[in-house]
Amino acid sequence: MKTEGTMTNISAEQVRKLRERTGAPMMDCKKALTATNGDEEAAVDHLRKLGVHTAAKKATRVTSEGSVGHYIHAGGKIGVLVEINCESDFVARTDDFKDLLKDIAMHIAAADPKFIRKEDVTPDAFEREKEIYRAQAAATGKPPAVVEKIVEGKMAKFYEEVCLLDQPFVKEPGISIHQLIASKVGKLGENISVRRFARFKVGDAGETVAITKPQPEAAAE
């Protein structure tokens, strides 16, 4: 009888094979294999259900259309503007795209991300967090190799906390915002990307503004 999969019993080779087969991002492949106890065929189906397989194939296609959405929360105390792009004005006018726009604007209001993707994290913020985690881990007296593993795990958690695409979707925590978008890509048949957002909160010294940096084609998710 198979037991429930964990992140530790999925090999790098299994992840590599699934990535080569589907073109999906490495972390999505690992999560899919974990969810299916290492069953490659089931993992392919899992990725297809999330739309990740299709999304990976479309990720480098130009998104020059789209729309700006907004969300006002807490009696007007928090407001969000977000621009999401797609490939055609036709898709931008669909109910599915409009629903995605509303969901992501609402999520930003609730989760308060600071960046869109991990590649957008500033070098200063990255180094500051990494040094804090390294100092904390080193204080436990663990060997350097173990310290680095701890830092790596904490940085992954840091990305989940501050990067929009890595955050668990507030309405459905079992999926990330990246996976939410991927499911819409699979359904609508076009590449979809978050271009920028601004989050305002009454009484804050300044708003949170994030804009995605241009990514080289090879780094596209």
pLDDT confidence of residue 221: 38
Average pLDDT over residues 209-218: 64
Shared domain for 26 and 112, answered yes or no, is: no
Average pLDDT over residues 182-187: 86
> Please, are residues 80 and 74 in contact by the beta-carbon 8 Å criterion?
no
Q: Which residues of 155-171 are buried (b: 16+ CB within 10 A; e: fewer)?
A: beebbeebbbbbbbbee
Q: Quickly tell me which residue has 């490939």 as its tokens.
A: 87
d(CA 115, CA 105): 14
Shared domain for 78 and 156, answered yes or no, is: no
Per-residue HEC secondary structure of 79-125 comes to EEEEEEEECCHHHHCCHHHHHHHHHHHHHHHHHCCCECCHHHCCHHH
pLDDT confidence of residue 57: 61
In a domain, 2, yes or no: no
Instruction: Find the domain containing 14 and state its range.
Output: 7-50
Span 131-166, pLDDT tens digits: 998 898 888 888 888 888 998 888 888 999 999 999
Q: Look up the pTM and report it.
A: 0.68
Q: Which CATH number do you get for residue 29?
A: 1.10.8.10
Q: 27 pLDDT band (50/70/90 cuts)?
A: confident
> Please, are residues 53 and 44 in contact by the beta-carbon 8 Å criterion?
yes
Shared domain for 104 and 143, answered yes or no, is: no
Which of 164, 66, 83 has its CA nearest to residue 119? 164
Shared domain for 97 and 204, answered yes or no, is: yes
Span 163-176, pLDDT tens digits: 999 999 999 998 99
φ, ψ of residue 141 to 5 degrees: the values are: 85, 10
In a domain, 35, yes or no: yes
d(CA 95, CA 97): 5
Shared domain for 110 and 176, answered yes or no, is: yes
Shared domain for 190 and 109, answered yes or no, is: yes
Shared domain for 110 and 150, answered yes or no, is: no
